Structure 1
Amino acid sequence: MTDVPPYRVLLVDDHALVRAGLSALLDAHPQIQVVGEASDGSQVVELALNSDPDVVLMDLSMPGTDGVTATRELLSLRPQTQVLVLTSFSDRDRVRDALAAGAIGYLLKDSDPQDVVAGVIAAARRGSPLDPRVARTLLTEGTVGPPPPLSPRERDVLRLVAKGMANKQIGRALGISERTVKVHLGNVFRRIGVQDRTSAALWAKENLPDT
């Protein structure tokens, strides 16, 4: 057993269920203590000043102050804090912006729970935990250009995904087969750097007009 005090962690996510799950997961580890929770980036600085965390586990997409802005503001006042991003998005721009703001690592929400625990401990020890998919994004940044723009049909499909429609419903609405919808979605996921429909829908709401 180690006599090192538990690493103090502040959770930042706008979904209460996500915070509850992360809190239970992390508090169960003897080397981690959750010392606070924030539902919006605007709360981060004050909570961090009061709770003195070693690591802030930071979501990026939140109402009000987003995670990148919150990271920048926090580190301007507490540069010793390690900010570890935990988000659904792995597109190049988000990764680059988060790391430029000072985040030490970047994990995805569909990671194995034990990888999140290991990432928090690594961040507390001044490591730089990166999801392999994020690492690939960074490694290819110098050799490939930005993601190509979505075609009009891909945008149509993505907008309907954001409305909660299933593939069969999307096919009927657009007059295409369900198989063609799946092909379009696969292309969309790769181009915008997400792994699932929920993340794609969130991306669409933020990046496509009239969604």
Structure 2
Amino acid sequence: MKNLITVSLVEDDRDICSSLAKLINNTNVFTCIHQYHDCQSGVEGIIKDPPNIVLMDIGLPDRSGIEGISEIRAKLPDLNIIVLTAHENDDYVFNALCAGASGYIIKEASTERILGAIQEVLNGGAPMSTQIARMVVKSFQRKNTTTLSPREMEVLNELCTGKSYKMIADVLFISEETVRRHLKSIYKKLHVSSKSEAVAKALKERLV
């Protein structure tokens, strides 16, 4: 039997949490190992028994899930955390990405999109709901004050829409290795070291 990809949920609505767990467990790829219903228990439990992926709400009863993401990433910097929430305004997106979220999906997304987001993250992507991706790209005026090349800007734009490295490569007709080289150059020029930070800084400085 192959090893399943482990998922932990942090969601205060127990019905939603139970439905998500059932959705995940009905696949032959993922398994839900823990369900937490507030931020503090989620942070403590995830640090104690880390999964491969976390799906985390923002509006939790004790405090913001964004704070929880920061705490978890401080202890587990390589852990992938996908925000799954009803909130979809600029500040929530920006703050979640700054905190280290690997993706941002709204709860209205289809079950296929939610499961696809987990797989996207595992493949190196940064999934966002279509609504979020559209908002990210269209809400900010283009204001490129950095030394990014036109191709690097294209890669950054595709990254902000949640595409994986393979998807970016296919769209731009380049290899995945070339995508990685462009991203490495982008991180260096933006003075960041992670994909989430690159997206967050692009939002903050209105590069896209």
Shorter-normalised TM range = 0.5 to 0.7
Cα offset, 1:50, TM superposition: 2.9
Distance 1:104 1:76 in 2: 14
Identify the residue that residue 13 of structure 2 maps to in structure 1: 15
For 1:17, the aligned partner's letter is D
Secondary structure, in 3 states, of the residue corresponding to 2:84?
Answer: strand
Q: What do the CA deviations read for 1:72-126 (whole angstroms, capped 9, x no partner)?
A: 0000000111000101111111011101100010101111111111111222333
Superposed counterparts of 1:33-72, under 5 Å: 33-72=31-70
Distance 2:37 2:53 in 1: 16
Cα offset, 1:138, TM superposition: 1.2
Distance 2:76 2:42 in 1: 11
> Is the 1:36–1:51 contact (alpha carbons within 8 Å) kept by the matching residues of 2?
no
| 1:106 aligns to 2:104 (yes or no) | yes
> Is the 2:47–2:72 contact (alpha carbons within 8 Å) kept by the matching residues of 1?
no
Which runs of 5 or more structure 2 residues have no equivalent in the other structure?
143-208
TM-score, normalisation: structure 1: 0.64
Distance 2:69 2:115 in 1: 20
Distance 2:33 2:124 in 1: 19
TM-score, normalisation: structure 2: 0.65
> Is the 1:7–1:121 contact (alpha carbons within 8 Å) kept by the matching residues of 2?
no
Distance 1:31 1:6 in 2: 5
| 1:95 aligns to 2:93 (yes or no) | yes
Percent of aligned positions that are identical? 25
Cα offset, 1:33, TM superposition: 0.9
Counterpart pick for 2:3 among 2, 5, 14: 5
Identify the residue that residue 142 of structure 1 maps to in structure 2: 140
Superposed counterparts of 1:110-189, under 5 Å: 110-143=108-141
For 1:29, the aligned partner's letter is T
For the pair shown, the structure with the greater C-alpha radius of gyration is: 1
